[in-house]
Amino acid sequence: MSMPATENANSCPTTEISAYIDGELSPSEERQVEKHLTGCSDCTDRLNQQKNFLFALSASLESEKEFELPKNFTKTIVANAESRVSGLRRPGERFTAVFICAALLLFALFALGADVPMVFSTFGSVFEKLIAVGSFILHSIFNISLSTTVVVRSLFSQIAFSPVVMLSLAVVFFGIVLMFFSHFIFRGSRAREN
């Protein structure tokens, strides 16, 4: 990069000057830029201008005074934003949305042209497959609940009439109810303290 000052400005390392100031160059590249700067007055002027600019910028940023926001600044901004949301409160909003959707659907039908029956048949087959999967899931849930009911009923019919089992079930039920209500009472008393 060592060039005399008489060479044209296209051979000057203008991008390397910024990297040189920021310290982003390798040591060998720094030496090349420094060697070029000793022989090129244009690049030396550019380097000094960039250094002066950075110095002035940092001085102006340091002298900026911070200003305090009012205490209710956030509340004021939120209140203004909420009061200006008029689209959610208009009475004809649903009609406008339905009208826009219908217009888009009509435009899509015109854009599809002769392919409309093929698109509808594709949607129909996808819809049929979704119905088949949904009915399979519902039938599975029904069969599992029915089998669980049969098993529980048969087990309960064998042990339900034993007095020891009935007493133990009553004690367990009473304990669960007691824990449930004590939890709510404790939560209510805590809420009153706060």
**Residue 120 domain flag:** no
Q: How many domains does the chain have?
A: 3
With respect to residue 110, please indicate whether it lies within any of the assigned structural domains.
Answer: no
Residues 30, 43: one domain?
yes
Per-residue model confidence (pLDDT) at position 192: 67
Q: Which two tokens stand for residue 142?
A: 């029904």
Predicted confidence at residue 136, as pLDDT, reads 95
Helix residue ranges, H only, the chain: 14-22, 27-39, 41-63, 73-83, 93-112, 116-159, 163-193
Residue at 69 is within a domain: no
The token pair at 170 is 């009553």
Find, among 41, 51, 29, the residue nearest to 3 by Cα. 41
Has residue 145 been placed in a domain? yes
| Ranges of the chain whose pLDDT falls below 70 | 1-10, 63-67, 83-91, 158-161, 188, 190-194
Give pLDDT, residue 8: 46
Range of 187's domain? Answer: 162-194
Q: Based on the fold, state whether residues 15 and 48 are members of the same structural domain.
A: yes
- Can you give the pLDDT at residue 64? 63
Tell me, what's the pLDDT at 41?
Answer: 87
